[in-house]
């Protein structure tokens, strides 16, 4: 499977949003939108209104990461705004996971779930077969620029093994420190979607086209190294 790329829009230059979206529209597989409520994590970032504003300007699937205490307070709003994937944290839906999954499905949206670094795969065992995407946080949620947590490599490999063993259809996505230092490790473990932010994409060059080309080359180099060592 070709590695899919999901730029984190909270890391883009919002003063150049239309120009940057034009670049991403021809390259990205997803657009990653973080919504934080100031409670589940301390920060407050993007919103359903932001999704509504960019939706007319992009055909790319919008992937919404709900870093919020009460996902059901946001699901209808982000769906109406134009989200394609809706992904709450596993810890926030533990009491009513099946109801939340059914709510997202009823809105004709794809269902994802996000696992914090300390949350085991076993936490989602009873509904893993219903998921379209599982996001592995390789940093603690809420802040950009944190160091990669190497223990997450085993979690990615576990998800890959379960997917192969049972024929599950979820995508394995990585959120946190996706850059040239980690590409080879993540891809070897089983990563299929890389969320790229400041270190992986936006800080590589002031020109986003050149930044994307630089990122793509770094990923290709990592893939070449893996093939050479196989």
Q: Per the annotation, does 143 bind a ligand?
A: yes
Residue 6, marked binder: no
Any known ligand binding at 200? Answer: no
177 is in an annotated binding site: yes
Positions annotated as catalytic residues are 34, 175
First-last CA distance in the chain: 17
Q: What is the DSSP string of 2-47?
A: PPEEEEBGGGS-GGGHHHHHHHHHTT-SEEEEEEEBSSSSS-B---
38 marked among binding-site residues: no
Rounded to 5 degrees, what angle do the CA atoms 180, 182, 138 make?
130
Phi and psi for 34 in degrees, rounded to 5? -90, 130
Please report how many Cα atoms fall inside a 13 Å half-sphere around the Cα of residue 219, on the Cβ side.
22
Is 176 annotated as ligand-binding? Answer: yes
65 among the known binding-site residues? yes
Q: Is 85 annotated as contributing to ligand binding?
A: no
Which residues belong to the annotated binding site?
32, 34, 65, 142-145, 175-177, 197-199
Summarize the annotated binding site for substrate as residue ranges.
65, 142-145, 175-177, 197-199
Annotated binding site for a divalent metal cation: 32, 34, 65, 175
């Amino acid at each position: 499977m070709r590695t899919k790329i999901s730029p984190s829009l909270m890391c883009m230059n919002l003063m150049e949003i239309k120009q940057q979206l034009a670049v991403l529209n021809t390259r990205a597989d997803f657009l990653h939108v973080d919504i934080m409520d100031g409670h589940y994590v301390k920060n407050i970032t993007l919103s359903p209104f932001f999704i509504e504003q960019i939706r007319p300007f992009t055909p790319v699937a919008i992937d919404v990461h709900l870093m919020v205490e009460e996902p059901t307070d946001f699901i209808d709003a982000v769906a109406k705004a134009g989200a394609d994937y809706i992904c709450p944290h596993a810890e926030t839906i533990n009491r009513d996971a099946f109801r939340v999954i059914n709510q997202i499905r009823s809105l004709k949206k794809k269902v994802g779930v996000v696992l914090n670094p300390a949350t085991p795969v076993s936490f989602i065992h009873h509904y893993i077969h219903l998921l379209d995407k599982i996001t592995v946080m390789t940093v603690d949620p809420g802040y950009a620029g944190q160091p990669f947590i190497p223990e997450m490599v085993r979690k990615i490999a576990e998800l890959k093994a379960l997917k192969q063993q049972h024929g599950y259809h979820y995508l394995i996505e990585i959120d946190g420190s996706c850059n040239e230092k980690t590409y080879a490790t993540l891809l070897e473990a089983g990563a299929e979607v890389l969320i790229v932010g400041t270190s992986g994409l936006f800080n590589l060059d002031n020109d986003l086209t050149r930044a994307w080309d630089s990122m793509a080359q770094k990923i290709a180099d990592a893939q070449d190294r893996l093939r050479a060592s196989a």
